[in-house]
């Protein structure tokens, strides 16, 4: 990329740039510049092989360099520009690493009159508390963000070259303007440093006997780690960006005053609301922005085992989503029990908090939702990030189409690839305005059309509870009747819960109708255990000889029990005990005992009633005697992954004869072997292959299992407790 890269200031950052450039072969030679007093550091840099040569005269250092990186502290950049000015070359690209950009622009203007067009301002968001070239490393910038802040006159090809350079070093490059950069960094970096320095300064002066530090726990260490950073550098950064920082300090002071007031008034509810918001917001940010950098999780499963005992699997995901949605829109306070504390349902919960709904919890599966009424949602300040959750995105698109504000719905990589036209097309027919990508995928840009939606009579081309629910929610804001006819019965939790909240919905055969006439009255909801999570244990106990398991309080809504019907057709021994109705939903305890299974042709009418359970049913089929055939299940191709292809691939790796078809699979039951399979980030695939371990004859390694947390975070512990040798490894 370059013949001669000149690094001005060969410290932690400059040294790491030189190392990364060498490691990736980005420059034929790398030279350094420093002042006389830096000679020791420069000699070390040369001895360590970080640079080829160093110079104490700037003229010698930059001679013949096609790229010059200024890696000195922000306060010194003006003097470096002044040194460079007589030797400034048209044929060289100059760039910097300063963590404030407005100050660099001003420095360049003072020295050059205008900022030169071959100066590309950049900021790698990476660092360490240690400084000097000895602390430099090859991979300081790997997977770290880097912001380029071009000016209107910056040469495009120079900017592209710097962008490529950083991408080769492993950075994730973003481009933004100078002012925006400085505002973002003031909030995310400069203010936290000030708070850490201020706290340690305050406590240090107060604490003459060093008591606080002696007893400091890891929370204090984590919070104040950045107060170990170089004080000179941070003095300079904070001074350089003071215009952005001062208003933030003022806001922080107001927030602390608010918390002080809440404590004085013993307002624990409001205090909790602030902490709970912060807690979930942080988790959401981590999932959203660090998801691709976060630890990957692998399940290692030893073959064999039996499932024995009693268990209660977590709350139903579909009902958990809906409890938050309808509870938020209700008049009054709704209490929810059994809420699923997993990423998908929490994404919905966060979205409603972002729209101004006060929700306490979850604490042990309990939520208290302070409903804002049907027209009480507020415009979210930012896009609503829905992680991996298709249900959140599809249902919310209907609800938000008829609001008086605009909104943007985003999701993770899997959700951003899933089809959304199935909801946007009928919504547009109702008068909604929603922009998607060309492929009809998220992000969804929704223009609120309050008072402008019109009811439609929609015949769904596919059996989808998400599409049906989306249109019913939109219908609550539409003129006239909104009707949805389904080609086959799908889960009816939305209809049941609407009735539970006293909102009128009419059902005639396969058609459901709703209008805008009605209000939701707060109620109490008891969410039963999720039959889709219980399914892993129903199959596990059915295939592992010696198993005997009781699954308590499982939701057995007839639109969800396809898995029981299919397993029974295959010869499974499942008893439904203690049937009762809880909060409008049928619930029972399920007793399952090992029984040899046989292959069957799965009746197509059961497909929508077991739509989420096919990955684990394929495992049952692999253990059954004879052939199992599934058809009419093309919907499986557009779930969190292409569940037909991904399961067929994995089963084949394990030695099973599994042939994918356009709309299903043909599986020849036999022996399950060992091997390494990947879940493609799909929670249900990861759990299904874990269950396969019960009948495998060798260990199974399942890659990419982090998303089990979207629906069943307790899975790995519960399955171990009941008898499967599963180890969860993080890397």
Interface with ligand S3P (CB under 6 A), residue from 466, 557, 690, 707? 466
Contact call for residue 682 and ligand S3P (CB under 6 A): no
**Minimum distance of ligand S3P from residue 231's CB (angstroms):** 53
Interacting span for ligand S3P (CB under 6 A) from 205-213, 324-332, 426-434, 460-468:
460-468
Which 309-348 residues touch ligand S3P, going by CB under 6 A?
318
> 668 pairs with which residues across the strands?
627, 657
Q: What is the CA radius of gyration of the chain?
A: 30
**Minimum distance of ligand S3P from residue 184's CB (angstroms):** 36
Name the catalytic one among 612, 642, 657, 704. Answer: 612
Query: Three-state DSSP class for 661?
Result: strand
Contact call for residue 190 and ligand S3P (CB under 6 A): no
Interface with ligand S3P (CB under 6 A), residue from 280, 469, 641, 710? 469
Sheet holding 67-70, edge to edge: 53-55, 27-33, 2-8, 67-70, 93-96, 119-120
Total residues interacting with ligand S3P, rule: CB under 6 A: 10
Interacting span for ligand S3P (CB under 6 A) from 106-114, 452-460, 465-473, 672-680:
465-473
Question: Which one, 280 or 388, has the nearer CB to ligand S3P?
Answer: 388
- Alpha helices (runs of H) in 169-215, residue ranges in sequence order: 178-185, 191-206, 211-214
**Minimum distance of ligand S3P from residue 95's CB (angstroms):** 48
End-to-end Cα distance, the chain:
33
Q: Is 612 a catalytic residue?
A: yes
**193 closest CA partner among 153, 237, 139:** 237
Q: Which helix (H) or strand (E) holds 32?
A: strand 27-33
**97 closest CA partner among 65, 70, 131, 58:** 70
Interface with ligand S3P (CB under 6 A), residue from 41, 154, 391, 707? 391
Give the whole-angstrom CA distance, residue 540 versus residue 678: 20
Question: Which one, 369 or 465, has the nearer CB to ligand S3P?
Answer: 465
**Minimum distance of ligand S3P from residue 26's CB (angstroms):** 46
Contact call for residue 611 and ligand S3P (CB under 6 A): yes
Question: Which one, 318 or 641, has the nearer CB to ligand S3P?
Answer: 318
**Minimum distance of ligand S3P from residue 369's CB (angstroms):** 18
Interface with ligand S3P (CB under 6 A), residue from 131, 280, 323, 464? 464
Contact call for residue 434 and ligand S3P (CB under 6 A): no
**Minimum distance of ligand S3P from residue 351's CB (angstroms):** 15
Name the region of 553 (left: φ>0; alpha: ψ -120 to 50; beta: rest): left
Give the whole-angstrom CA distance, residue 614 versus residue 647: 9
Question: Which one, 100 or 466, has the nearer CB to ligand S3P?
Answer: 466
Question: Which one, 104 or 473, has the nearer CB to ligand S3P?
Answer: 473
Contact call for residue 648 and ligand S3P (CB under 6 A): no
DSSP state of 144: -
**Minimum distance of ligand S3P from residue 374's CB (angstroms):** 21
Tokens of 584: 């409008």
Which 628-647 residues touch ligand S3P, going by CB under 6 A?
635
| Per-residue three-class SS string for 215-258 | CCCHHHHHHHHHHHCCHHHHHHHHHHCHHHHHHHHHHHHHHHHH
Place of tokens 């592209």: 160
Question: Which one, 6 or 472, has the nearer CB to ligand S3P?
Answer: 472
Interacting span for ligand S3P (CB under 6 A) from 234-242, 332-340, 357-365, 458-466:
458-466
Question: Which one, 287 or 466, has the nearer CB to ligand S3P?
Answer: 466
Q: What's the angle, vertex CA 363, arms to CA 360 and CA 369, rounded to 5?
A: 25
**Minimum distance of ligand S3P from residue 599's CB (angstroms):** 24
Name the region of 546 (left: φ>0; alpha: ψ -120 to 50; beta: rest): left
Residues 6+ apart with CB under 8 A from 535: 563, 612, 613, 616, 617
Question: Which one, 67 or 347, has the nearer CB to ligand S3P?
Answer: 347
Tokens of 637: 């191709």
Which 550-579 residues touch ligand S3P, going by CB under 6 A?
none
Question: In this structure, are strands 331-337 and 524-526 parallel, antiparallel, or unpaired?
Answer: parallel
Contact (Cβ atoms closer than 8 angstroms) between residue 665 and residue 634: no
Question: Which one, 147 or 514, has the nearer CB to ligand S3P?
Answer: 514
Contact (Cβ atoms closer than 8 angstroms) between residue 215 and residue 203: no
Interface with ligand S3P (CB under 6 A), residue from 330, 465, 543, 592? 465
Question: Which one, 65 or 346, has the nearer CB to ligand S3P?
Answer: 346
Contact call for residue 533 and ligand S3P (CB under 6 A): no
**Minimum distance of ligand S3P from residue 285's CB (angstroms):** 25
Which 480-509 residues touch ligand S3P, going by CB under 6 A?
491
Interacting span for ligand S3P (CB under 6 A) from 82-90, 139-147, 160-168, 464-472:
464-472
Exposure string for 15-43, b = 16+ CB within 10 A, e = fewer: bbbbbbbbeeebbebbbbbbeeebeebbe
**646 closest CA partner among 617, 671, 681:** 681
Tokens of 469: 């629910």
**Minimum distance of ligand S3P from residue 466's CB (angstroms):** 3
Interacting span for ligand S3P (CB under 6 A) from 444-452, 463-471, 583-591, 664-672:
463-471
Query: Three-state DSSP class for 408?
Result: strand
- The residues assigned a catalytic role are 612
Using CB under 6 A as the criterion, which residues of the chain lie in contact with ligand S3P when the complex forms?
318, 391, 464-466, 469, 491, 611-612, 635
């Amino acid at each position: 990329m370059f013949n001669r890269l000149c690094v001005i200031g060969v410290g932690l950052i400059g040294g790491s740039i030189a190392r990364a450039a060498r490691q990736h072969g980005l420059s034929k030679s790398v030279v350094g510049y420093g002042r006389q007093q830096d000679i020791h550091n420069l000699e070390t840099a040369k001895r360590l092989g970080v640079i080829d040569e160093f110079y104490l005269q700037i003229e010698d250092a930059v001679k013949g360099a096609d790229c010059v990186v200024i890696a000195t502290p922000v306060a010194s950049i003006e003097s470096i520009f002044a040194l460079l000015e007589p030797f400034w070359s048209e044929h060289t690209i100059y760039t910097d690493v300063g963590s404030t950009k407005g100050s660099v622009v001003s420095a360049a203007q003072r020295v050059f009159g205008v900022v030169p067009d071959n100066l590309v301002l950049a900021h790698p968001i990476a660092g360490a508390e240690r400084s000097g070239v000895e602390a430099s490393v090859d991979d300081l910038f790997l997977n770290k963000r880097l912001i380029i802040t071009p000016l209107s006159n910056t040469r495009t090809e120079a900017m592209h070259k710097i962008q490529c350079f950083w991408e080769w070093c492993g950075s994730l490059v973003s481009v933004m303007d100078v002012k925006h950069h400085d505002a973002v960094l003031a909030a995310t970096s400069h203010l936290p440093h000030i708070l850490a320095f201020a706290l340690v300064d305050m406590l240090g002066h107060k604490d003459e006997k060093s008591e606080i530090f002696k007893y400091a726990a890891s929370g204090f260490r984590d919070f104040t780690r950045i107060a170990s950073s170089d004080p000179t550098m941070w003095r300079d950064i904070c001074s350089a960006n003071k215009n952005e920082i001062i208003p933030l300090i003022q806001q922080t002071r107001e927030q602390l005053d608010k918390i002080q007031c809440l404590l004085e008034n013993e307002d624990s509810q409001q205090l909790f609301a602030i902490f709970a918001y912060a807690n979930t917001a942080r988790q959401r940010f981590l999932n959203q922005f660090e998801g691709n950098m976060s630890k990957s999780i692998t399940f290692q499963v030893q073959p064999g085992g039996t499932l024995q005992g009693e268990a209660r699997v977590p709350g139903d995901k579909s009902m958990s989503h809906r409890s938050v949605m309808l509870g938020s829109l209700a008049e009054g306070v709704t209490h929810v029990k059994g809420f699923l504390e997993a990423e998908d349902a929490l994404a919905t919960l966060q979205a409603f908090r972002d729209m101004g709904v006060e929700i306490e919890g979850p604490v042990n599966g309990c939520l208290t939702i302070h409903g804002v009424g049907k027209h009480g949602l507020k415009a979210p300040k930012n896009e609503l990030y829905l992680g991996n959750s298709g249900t959140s995105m599809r249902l919310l698109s209907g609800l938000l189409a008829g609001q008086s504000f605009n909104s943007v719905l985003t999701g993770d990589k899997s959700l951003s690839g899933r089809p959304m036209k199935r909801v946007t097309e009928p919504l547009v027919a109702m008068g909604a305005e929603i922009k998607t990508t060309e492929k009809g995928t998220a992000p969804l840009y929704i223009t609120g059309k309050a008072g402008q939606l019109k009811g439609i009579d929609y015949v769904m081309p596919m059996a989808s509870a998400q599409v049906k629910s989306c249109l019913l929610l939109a219908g609550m804001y539409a003129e006239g009747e909104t009707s949805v006819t389904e080609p086959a019965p799908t889960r009816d939790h939305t209809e049941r819960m609407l009735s539970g909240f006293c909102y009128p919905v009419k059902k005639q055969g396969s058609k459901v109708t709703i209008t805008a006439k009605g209000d939701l009255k707060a109620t109490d909801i008891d969410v039963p255990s999720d039959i889709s999570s219980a399914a892993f244990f129903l199959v596990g106990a059915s295939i592992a000889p010696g198993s005997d398991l009781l699954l308590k309080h499982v939701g057995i809504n007839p639109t969800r029990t396809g898995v029981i019907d299919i397993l029974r057709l295959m010869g499974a021994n499942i008893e439904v005990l203690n049937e009762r109705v809880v909060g409008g939903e049928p619930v029972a305890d399920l007793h399952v005992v090992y029984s040899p299974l046989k292959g069957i042709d799965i009746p197509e009418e059961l497909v929508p009633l077991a739509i989420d359970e096919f990955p684990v049913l394929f495992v049952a089929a692999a253990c059954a005697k004879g052939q199992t055939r599934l058809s009419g299940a093309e919907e499986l191709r557009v779930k969190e992954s292409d569940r037909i292809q991904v399961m067929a691939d994995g089963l084949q790796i394990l030695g099973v004869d599994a042939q994918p078809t356009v709309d299903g699979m043909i599986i020849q039951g036999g022996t399950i072997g060992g091997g390494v399979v990947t879940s493609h980030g799909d929670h249900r695939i990861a759990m299904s292959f874990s269950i396969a371990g019960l009948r495998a004859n060798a260990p199974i390694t399942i890659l990419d299992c982090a998303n089990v947390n979207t629906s069943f975070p307790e899975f790995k512990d519960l399955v171990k407790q009941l008898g499967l040798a599963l180890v969860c490894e993080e890397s």
